[in-house]
Amino acid sequence: MTPKVRFVAFSVVCVVLGSMSQSLVAFNLLDYRWPAGVINMEMQLGSAAGLMDGSGSWDDCGISSLVELNGILAPTGRSFNAVRDSTRTPEQGDSANSVFFSDDFFGTPYGAQVLALTQSYFFLQDGIDETAESDVGFNLGKRWNCYRGVRRVGSTPETTMMSDLRRVATHEFGHVLGLTHPDEATPPQTVTALMNAFISDLDVFQLDDIQGLLTLYGIAVTGIPFPPRNEVLDFFLALENEYRDVLGRPQTNQGFVDAEGSAVWFPEWLRYVLNDCSATEAATRVLLQIRGLGIQPVCGVVGAGVINFPPRDQSLDFLNTLDTFYRDDLARTVVLSYIDLEGKAVWLQEYLRYRVNGCSDAEGLSRVRQQIRTGVTAPVCIT
């Protein structure tokens, strides 16, 4: 693998945020994530007495955050494991994930308003880079406790605020997992999120944080109801018969993508496009999946309602790109079809447009057949 590269993320202190509207999901993702498996966290925060929530130590306070995040991580194939009372000395680039208090962050001052810093190392690779190490440091120059709810702020926040280690830890562990600040995106996003750069009265991950995390690790979080792949394959085979038996087309169209490949990768490309990826970026992410680099995160999410599909020329361009990839990179042999590439682009997209807008498998097939035979476009099943 390519040598490790470093990224630094941070939390800052600010007055309590006012109420925020949340009209859409607008999380902000980094370009790296952990491989499947256990993420060991070396807990080196030490002992404490009299913490407000009853935690027995600073480590216990931080570990309660890891336990909560494990519940969110369950479908991703990743989980945190807390190494309690670790005596390991925090070091940069040692392949260990250290969580500690300190006066500075590996020699760099925290700064007057910084509560904590997270520094991550990762391996460069095509698509989403692979995290190798993340260290989390908490500023010893701040007053800490462990509690829930409204922040404990005195008359002079810069000097009397008592910071809740648990919520700051959850924020920093979000950076460890690959999330960054939605309110520092370009353009800035106004959402209710614990991952916003400024500390607030929020003390747990919000919907935006959760959906961002699941999206980064390839878990669909939108309501676009794509059909199962076996049903798309059955439709494609029925379309072959339609072209042969009804349209009388010869089996002379040469290509390199078999029926199963078309049924799998065209819907996957559409899933990226319908979730805010450009046609080109969607194609790139599909090819990364085919190369075995895992499901890439989508670029955003869409609201409820009828879903607007891309122009057909973009669908045709993707199928040409896929065909070239099967030929040149996968070295597949020629496959003969009754359907030309333009027909695949048009009718696969039409079938999927019906399906994601409420039509059953049979209804989708029936409506496509009607269009082919009469030229009349039937309405979708739910608007």
Instruction: Calculate mean pLDDT across residues 297-312.
Output: 71
Q: Are residues 243 and 96 in the same domain?
A: no
Q: Are residues 124 and 234 in the same domain?
A: no
pLDDT at 300: 67
Q: Are residues 165 and 249 in the same domain?
A: no
Confidence (pTM) = 0.68
Q: Are residues 210 and 235 in the same domain?
A: no
Q: How does DSSP assign 139-198, residue by residue? A: ETTSEEE---SS-B--SSHHHH-EEEHHHHHHHHHHHHHTB--GGGSSS------TTSSB
Quick check: is 382 in a domain? no
Q: Are residues 161 and 307 in the same domain?
A: no
Q: Is the pLDDT of residue 13 over 50?
A: no
- Tokens 């336990």 found at: 67
Q: Are residues 46 and 169 in the same domain?
A: yes
Q: What does residue 334 show for φ and ψ, rounded to 5 degrees?
A: -65, 140
- Structure token pair of residue 225: 């109801």
Q: Which of 216, 240, 274 is the last residue of a domain?
A: 216
Quick check: is 299 in a domain? yes
The confidence band for 112, taking pLDDT boundaries of 50, 70 and 90, is: confident
Q: Are residues 44 and 189 in the same domain?
A: yes
Q: Are residues 148 and 270 in the same domain?
A: no
The confidence band for 8, taking pLDDT boundaries of 50, 70 and 90, is: low
Q: Which of 216, 240, 275 is the last residue of a domain?
A: 216
pLDDT at 159: 47
Quick check: is 383 in a domain? no
Instruction: Calculate mean pLDDT across residues 267-287.
Output: 90
Q: Are residues 154 and 297 in the same domain?
A: no
The confidence band for 25, taking pLDDT boundaries of 50, 70 and 90, is: very low
Q: Which of 165, 193, 216 is the last residue of a domain?
A: 216
Q: Are residues 133 and 185 in the same domain?
A: yes
Tell me how many domains the chain contains: 2
Instruction: Calculate mean pLDDT across residues 39-45.
Output: 97
For 164-215, what is each residue's pLDDT tens digit?
A: 999 999 999 999 999 988 888 777 777 888 998 888 888 889 888 888 898 8
pLDDT at 149: 86
- Tokens 């919000």 found at: 206
- Rounded mean pLDDT of the chain? 86
Instruction: Calculate mean pLDDT across residues 104-111.
Output: 91
Which residue range is the domain that position 263 belongs to? 229-374
Q: Are residues 247 and 210 in the same domain?
A: no
For 220-272, what is each residue's pLDDT tens digit?
A: 665 577 888 899 999 999 999 999 999 999 999 999 999 999 999 999 999 88
The confidence band for 42, taking pLDDT boundaries of 50, 70 and 90, is: very high
CATH of the domain at 99: 3.40.390.10
pLDDT at 260: 94
Instruction: Calculate mean pLDDT across residues 8-30.
Output: 43
Q: Are residues 212 and 233 in the same domain?
A: no
CA distance 164 to 161: 9
Quick check: is 189 in a domain? yes
